[in-house]
Amino acid sequence: MDFVRYHFETIDSTNTWAKQNVHKFEKDKITIISAEEQTAGRGRFTRRWESPKGLNVYTTFAFYLEKYSSLIGNIPQVLAMSAVEALAELGFIVKLKWPNDLMIQDEKLGGVLCETTAIDNGLFVIAGIGINVNMPQELLQKIDRPATSLLKAGGSLYSIEKVIENLQKYFVRNLEILKLRGFKAFHDAYQRDLMYRIGDPLSFNDFRTIWEGFFHSIKEDGSLNLKLPSGEIKNFLSGEIF
């Protein structure tokens, strides 16, 4: 699929800008919005996303979906998997924390924030990704949870544009596969990319209750199966492992 790219030196948030400008986007193209810095970068669960100038990837992929609405929940997972492939090309082994956090060891390298806007009979999907590329340790330490960057993990500086280029290459291809074959085409690779193995202890917050249990599996639809100490398998569509 063809794409159109917008690049900004400074923006509040590439996702916010995409939501505000969705009417300008072509339905048969992927619109890619990137920025050198975000002054109001947003993370999941209304968190702030640290977005200092010229150091990291802040990119949003916006595209129209007329149908396939059952796949919406899998788009962020497929974007995160595309980042795993994009970064493998640069020599990094990046793992996923369900559903779509990018991790190196136990530290967060990046994340995905996926939003939608209804237009006509379909939806514009606004899938934003942040990847810490050249963020030094002094800035990583200011983030309120353990964070890493390619610089920290690899010991040298990396081209932000190369990361975006790789990401685009894999995501455009994977999105076509998702539309044609659904998440089942990704399920096994997704499970392999995860940072947990079957039986690993997990604490899970579904924003009502904190559940203690063990990683059981990922269902065909990408949701998480947690095994509770009672032996019951509990399925979650959203929430956060911590």
Rounded to the nearest whole angstrom, what is the least distance from the CB of residue 49 to ligand BTN in the complex?
A: 4
Question: Is 182 one of the binding residues for ligand BTN (CB under 6 A)?
Answer: no
Among 50, 101, 115, 193, binds ligand BTN (CB under 6 A): 101
* 239 lies in the binding site for ligand BTN (CB under 6 A): no
67: left (phi over 0), alpha (psi -120 to 50) or beta: beta
Tokens of 33: 């919005």
Piece of 54-62, 87-95, 137-145, 214-222 that binds ligand BTN (CB under 6 A): 54-62
Q: Does 15 bind ligand BTN (CB under 6 A)?
A: yes
Does residue number 129 form part of the binding site for ligand BTN (CB under 6 A)?
yes
Given 5, 24, 27, 47, the residue binding ligand BTN (CB under 6 A): 47
* Smallest separation (angstroms) from ligand BTN to the CB of 18: 8
d(CA 164, CA 183): 23
- Give the residue nearest to ligand BTN (CB): 111
Distance of alpha carbon 75 from alpha carbon 217, whole angstroms: 19
First to last CA, the chain: 37
* One residue of 14, 132, 134, 149 binding ligand BTN per CB under 6 A: 14
Under the criterion CB under 6 A, does residue 179 sit at the interface with ligand BTN? no
Binding test (CB under 6 A) with ligand BTN, winner from 60, 77, 166, 168: 60
Q: H or E stretch including 174? A: helix 160-181
Distance CA(138)–CA(140), nearest Å, equals 6
Q: Quote the least distance from Cβ 125 to ligand BTN, whole Å.
A: 13
Neighbours of 164 (CB within 10 A): 21
Q: Considering the rule CB under 6 A, would residue 76 count as an interface residue with ligand BTN?
A: no
CB of 60 closer than 8 Å to CB of 75 = no
Torsion angle of the four alpha carbons 183, 189, 195, 199, in this order, in degrees rounded to the nearest 10: 80
Q: By C-beta, is 111 or 213 nearer to ligand BTN?
A: 111
Sign of CA dihedral 88, 151, 104, 44: negative
Which residues of this protein are in contact with ligand BTN, per CB under 6 A?
A: 13-15, 38, 41-44, 47, 49, 58-60, 101, 111-113, 128-130
